[in-house]
């Protein structure tokens, strides 16, 4: 009887906005033609006549004209504030060679005051003909007045110029820290490249960004996200971004929902303050504790059981001793935090699963939602452990079509067969969440959708895709980028699908992505983004 009364109340409620005459992706496998929004929630979905009946004279009616409407995209793994700073800094991602790289830095430095640090950059030496790591010698002459600490696009290597190294007190006598490498030339001289934990030696010298700069970066990131239909982000920025997001919200400028992660180094202060994962509301919420277990394949520091194919002297780096990794995971779990642990190599994935198994055995409880971030190279034998523990594989599909340029060289074909396995995870009934790892990859979810359904480079090839048996359907890909990501942050009861009563976070594409050629997914623009019933981006006026 209660449900009937509530249902009648919903029918009597009029819509603020209705969308008709389109293809509405409600959830995986279910499509309708129309949707109604009231306040910040979805009021109804169905056929045009049913939804039009909810309109009043004040209702905005949007004719979709056959366009696709989906839930807003939820980026399950993003360095959001860091990405915003990248938008305000030099862009080195597509530098064609060392000369171009140095010229861009020199040009950027020429417009800065003396002493201002140059950060971000997101360079990729694998794009250069030489594929050689950059050196401080390349840039010292063009950055004489500005310390430089620009990162490789995966965030696991930094190139510092001599000025920055001196500011940090790093010289040829400085020893490699555990889990890090200070790259040196044959004579023992520093090249300027610092890998993984060695970067921390430099980070200590960086000035703290001002609140004003944080707000500028966050606003740039929010506008960028809205233009791509990204309505939720799970942010693991290195900077303590929470005060920044709170300020923007108080000023009425928050246009995406933000799940704020904290590094494991912040765990004690959170515990002492009584803060745990889940604190907050649907706009800003405290998320997982982030732990890095290994490095990256691009840096040659992801941890494998066997040596790298292109460098048999190393099997990568563990960023914590195994005993310390186990202790941190156990302590965080015992305190009630959700865990999001970075693991790329097959050894790192296995070790994290070992630690999760111990924690689950020590404190049996339902619905932990352990997460492994990237889940990039996973042994077949470990898929069953993922499934048994219900570990969320938090995957960034665009890594596949970027890394495939050099992954076979680095780890060989056999291990590549165990890498970026979207379909194998689904077939094993493992929960999967999609994201981008922005700033590492572009924030644009269209690139992730394209990568998941084709496994081909943006410019095309390999024919049929990189290990094409791991391709998934567009229906699955959108689901993992919406509902799957919401599940990963304990929010699938409130968002991720467009069922009545859920948050009205949605995006309209200029065409129906299910009817266009896969290549066109990359270029079909977003026409409108709505968050909580409020339009936060509109490309063109709607008729």
Q: What pLDDT score does 321 carry?
A: 98
The 10s digit of each residue's pLDDT in 99-127 is 999 999 999 999 999 999 999 999 999 99
Q: In what order do the strands lie in the sheet with 34-38?
A: 41-46, 34-38, 17-20, 60-63
Q: What pLDDT score does 12 carry?
A: 61
Question: Encoding tokens for residue 50?
Answer: 């049913």
Question: Encoding tokens for residue 195?
Answer: 């890998």
The 10s digit of each residue's pLDDT in 148-202 is 999 999 999 999 999 999 999 999 999 999 999 999 999 999 999 999 999 999 9
Stated pTM of the model: 0.91
pLDDT beneath 70: ranges in the chain: 1-12, 541-543
Residue 521 near residue 446 (C-beta atoms within 8 A): yes
Which domains, and CATH codes, for the chain? 2-72+502-538 (2.30.40.10), 89-203 (3.10.310.70)
Q: What pLDDT score does 541 carry?
A: 60
* Cross-strand pairs, 235: 78, 260
Provide the phi-psi class of 46: left if phi over 0, else alpha when psi is between -120 and 50, else beta. Answer: left
Q: What pLDDT score does 9 carry?
A: 42
Residue identified by tokens 């990501």 is 485
What contacts 110, CB < 8 A, 6 or more positions away?
A: none
Question: Which of helix, strand or coil describes residue 339?
Answer: strand
């Amino acid at each position: 009887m209660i449900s009937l009364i509530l249902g009648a109340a919903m029918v009597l409620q009029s819509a603020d906005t209705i969308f008709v005459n389109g293809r509405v992706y409600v959830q995986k496998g279910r499509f309708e033609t129309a949707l109604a929004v009231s306040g910040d929630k979805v009021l109804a979905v169905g056929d045009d006549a049913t939804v039009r009946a909810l309109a009043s004279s004040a209702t905005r009616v949007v004719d979709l004209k056959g366009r696709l409407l989906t839930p807003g995209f939820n980026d399950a793994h993003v360095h959001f504030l860091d990405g915003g700073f990248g938008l305000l800094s030099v862009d080195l991602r597509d530098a064609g060679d060392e000369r171009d790289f140095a010229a861009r830095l020199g040009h950027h430095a020429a417009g800065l005051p003396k002493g201002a640090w140059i950060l971000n950059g997101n360079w990729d030496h694998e794009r250069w003909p030489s594929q050689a790591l950059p050196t401080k010698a390349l840039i010292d002459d063009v950055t004489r007045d500005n310390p430089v600490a620009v990162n490789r696009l995966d965030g696991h290597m930094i190139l510092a110029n001599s000025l920055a190294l001196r500011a940090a007190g790093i010289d040829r006598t400085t020893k490699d820290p555990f889990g890090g490498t200070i790259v040196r030339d044959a004579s023992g001289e520093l090249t300027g490249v610092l890998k993984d934990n060695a970067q921390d030696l430099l980070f200590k010298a960086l000035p703290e960004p001002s609140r004003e700069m944080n707000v500028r970066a966050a606003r740039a990131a929010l506008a960028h996200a809205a233009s791509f239909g990204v309505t939720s982000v799970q942010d693991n920025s290195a900077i303590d971004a929470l005060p920044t997001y709170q300020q923007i919200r108080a000023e009425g400028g928050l246009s995406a929902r933000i799940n704020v992660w904290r590094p494991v180094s912040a765990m004690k202060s959170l515990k002492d303050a009584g803060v745990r994962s889940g604190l907050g509301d649907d706009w800003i919420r405290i998320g997982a504790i982030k732990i890095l277990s290994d490095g990256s394949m691009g840096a040659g520091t992801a941890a494998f059981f066997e040596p790298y194919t292109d460098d048999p002297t190393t099997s990568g780096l563990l960023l914590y001793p195994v005993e310390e990794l186990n202790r941190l995971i156990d302590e965080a779990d015992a305190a009630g935090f959700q865990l999001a642990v970075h693991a790329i190599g097959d050894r790192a994935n296995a070790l994290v699963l070992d630690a999760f198994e111990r924690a689950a055995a020590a404190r049996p409880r339902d619905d932990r939602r352990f997460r492994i971030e990237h889940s990039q190279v996973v042994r077949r034998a470990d898929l069953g452990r993922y499934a048994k523990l219900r570990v969320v594989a938090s995957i960034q599909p665009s890594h596949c079509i970027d890394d495939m340029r050099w992954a076979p060289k680095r780890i060989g074909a056999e291990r590549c067969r165990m890498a970026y396995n979207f379909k194998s995870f689904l077939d094993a009934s493992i929960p999967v969440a999609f994201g981008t790892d922005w700033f590492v990859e572009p924030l644009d979810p269209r690139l992730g959708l394209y990568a998941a359904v084709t496994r081909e480079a943006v410019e095309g090839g390999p024919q049929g895709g990189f290990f094409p048996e791991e391709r998934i359907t567009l229906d699955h890909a959108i689901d993992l980028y919406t509902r799957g990501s919401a599940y990963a942050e304990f929010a699938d009861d409130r968002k991720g699908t467009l069922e009545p009563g859920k948050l009205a976070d949605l995006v309209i594409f200029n065409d129906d992505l299910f009817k266009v050629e896969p290549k066109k997914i990359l270029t079909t623009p977003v026409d409108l983004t709505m968050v909580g019933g409020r339009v936060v981006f509109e490309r063109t006026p709607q008729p």
